[in-house]
Amino acid sequence: MLGKDYAAFEASYLSPPERALRVNTLKISADEFKKISPFPLERVPWAENGFYTACDGLGKTVYHAAGLYYVQEPSAMCAAPKLEAASGERVLDLCSAPGGKGTQLAADMCGGGVLVLNEINFPRAKILSSNVERLGVKNAVVTCAPPEKLAEEFCGYFDKILVDAPCSGEGMFKKERAAVGEWSLENVKACAVRQSKILQSAVKMLAVGGRMVYSTCTFSPEENEEQIAAALKAYPLKLVSEQRLYPHEVRGEGHFCAVLEKLSGERRDMPLLKPAADRAGLCLYRQWEKENLGLVFENLHFVGRTLYSLPNDMPKTSVQTLRAGVRLGEVTGNRFEPDHSLAMCLEKGQANGVEVDEQTAVNFLKGYTFGCSSNEKGYRLVLYKGYPLGWCKVSDGVAKNKLPKGVRI
Query: Under a CB-based contact definition with an 8 Å cutoff, are residues 131 and 181 in contact?
Result: no
Q: Is 217 a catalytic residue?
A: yes
Length of the chain, please? 409
What region, left, alpha or beta, does residue 228 occupy, with left being phi > 0 and alpha being psi -120 to 50 degrees? Answer: alpha
SS3 190: helix
Query: Under a CB-based contact definition with an 8 Å cutoff, are residues 69 and 12 in contact?
Result: no
Query: Under a CB-based contact definition with an 8 Å cutoff, are residues 350 and 336 in contact?
Result: no
Q: Give the dihedral of Cα atoms 57, 63, 64, 66; nearest 10 deg.
A: 160
CA 244 to chain centre: 23
For every residue of 249-309, DSSP letters joined together read: TSSS--EEEEEEEE-SS-----PBPPPPP-HHHHHHHHHHHHHHBSS---SEEEETTEEEE
SS3 82: helix
SS3 212: strand
What span, in angstroms and rounded, lies between the C-alpha atoms of 221 and 214? 13
What span, in angstroms and rounded, lies between the C-alpha atoms of 362 and 367? 9
Q: Which of 167, 217, 372, 392 is catalytic?
A: 217
Give me the sheet containing 335-338, strands edge to edge. Answer: 300-303, 306-309, 326-332, 335-338
What span, in angstroms and rounded, lies between the C-alpha atoms of 397 and 409? 25
Of the candidates 296, 325, 293, the one whose C-alpha atom is nearest the C-alpha of residue 312 is 325
Active site residues: 217
